[in-house]
Chains A and B, each alone.
Chain A
Amino acid sequence: MAEVIWGLATSHVPSIGAAMDRGKAEDPNWKALFDGYAPARAWLAEHTPDVAIVVYNDHANGIDLDFVPTFGLGTAERYEVADEGFGRRPVPDVIGDPELSFHLVQSLVDDHFDLTVFQELAVDHGFTVPLSVWTADPGDAWPCPVIPLLVNVIQYPQPTAARCYELGRALGRAIRSYPKDITVGVLGTGGMSHQLAGSRAGFINPDFDSMWMEAIETDPARLAAMSREELIRQAGSEGIELIMWLVMRGAMDDRVTKVHSDYFVPASNTAAGIALFDNRAPSA
């Protein structure tokens, strides 16, 4: 059976990718962010899974308002990196794993998650920036095949935090029921607190972010109980993206071991967080 070996939660702010693409990782405004990634990157480099699943949202690049799937899963052999209007990021296209994808679709639909199936999908910064947080210099290819799991966080009503957590639990069951003995990493992306528009733009809530960072490890059910309104009030209108961390967390065991976490303000207009969890039973 397949096994989730780690979960990585990370912000996906486009300027993080742009800073890397333009060689600004040592720039004084960015250095502390990338220094904070280093321990997670070093650990991940020693724990490359056979396949990764990235839980993310598109930002009007791969899909638009003609279709707004609440949840979607990619089943393609390859995902092109989207041109978001300023040229595509200079990073490799993404190799998929259609066999695992179709297994996940079958299992999730049988488990009452009727998600949309993408046989073709261009992936934007919401997807590629977390891969860059994981692997700074991928060369010609990312470390392993990757499957996109889309969540609508842009157009209301977004799925509830509780539903995202339940989807994660169903995703964990789906992975464990895969007959091949493979290892899987799951990335939950977005957040942390931020708001882009309105007179409240620039809102950051470090107390909330600190609470979230602790509870995502120890008490995710508490986070899953939060309403949409409470999330927007406390984390900002775009901070609601944090519900995607709950999909990742749900796919992991109840008890996980934190490898590393860090928090940095600002990445563009956003509080950037990273949290890496080992899902394997602690060795005796």
Chain B
Amino acid sequence: MTTDSGAGRLDLPGTPIFDGDTSRRGLRMNKLFMSLRDAGNRERFAADEAAYCRGFGLTAEQEKAVLDRDWQAMIDLGGSIFYVYKLAMMDGRSMQYLGGVFTGMGEDDFLAAMRAGGRRDG
């Protein structure tokens, strides 16, 4: 991560931490995701995604991540998984699909690993 807020910051491998710095960086993008709960907003987003992103004041990096559906980049740029998931749902993507992306396993192998009891550390 690019920022550091000192005391108490957690650093666990492979584990995004949605702390204050992250939330501040991602606020505009997360607000965009939140807006997608509304059908009218989903239509406006679909009609011109880039314009919709600019309307919410996303950074150029965030806008690119959204337009490219770069899910890992959205998380890295301050997205909360619960907010990012709203865009994924709009695209018909499941949490298992996202798990396949984040782990590099692909959806089918990720789902198989979950059905086999889930993944372990190490």
Contact = CB atoms under 8 A, between A and B. Distances in A.
B98 A196 contact: yes
B8 interface: yes
B8 A157 contact: yes
Given A195-B15, A200-B121, A83 B10 contact: no
DSSP class of A's interface residues: helix, strand, loop or mixed? loop
Given A59-B82, A157-B8, A266-B114, A200 B37 contact: no
Given A65-B23, A85-B90, A200 B119 contact: yes
A86 B103 contact: no
A106 to B, nearest CB: 31
Given A199-B102, A202-B110, A271 B17 contact: no
Interface stretch (B26-34, B52-60, B62-70): B26-34
A197 B118 contact: no
DSSP class of B's interface residues: helix, strand, loop or mixed? helix
A154 interface: yes
A197 B81 contact: yes
Interface residues of A, number: 42
Interface in B1-58: 8, 10, 12-20, 23, 27, 30-31, 33-34, 36-37, 42
A71 to B, nearest CB: 18
Given A61-B37, A83-B37, A229-B10, A201 B103 contact: yes
Interface string A213-233: 000000000000000110011
B115 A156 contact: no
A204 B117 contact: yes
Given A199-B103, A204-B120, A268-B95, A156 B31 contact: no
A198 B105 CA distance: 12
Contact of A237 (B17, B23, B84): B17
B42 to A, nearest CB: 8
A269 B80 CA distance: 17
A97 B30 CA distance: 33
Nearest to A68: B23
Contacts of B102: 197-199, 201
A146 B113 CA distance: 37
Contacts of A206: 117-118
Nearest to B71: A197
B118 A237 contact: no
A1 interface: no
Given A156-B17, A195-B15, A64 B34 contact: yes
Interface string B61-95: 00000000000000100001111111001100001
Contacts of A228: 10
B115 A85 contact: no
Contacts of B17: 156, 232, 237
Interface of B: 8, 10, 12-20, 23, 27, 30-31, 33-34, 36-37, 42, 75, 80-86, 89-90, 95-96, 98-99, 102-104, 110, 113-115, 117-121
8 contacts: A59-B82, A60-B82, A65-B34, A84-B86, A85-B42, A154-B82, A199-B13, A265-B114
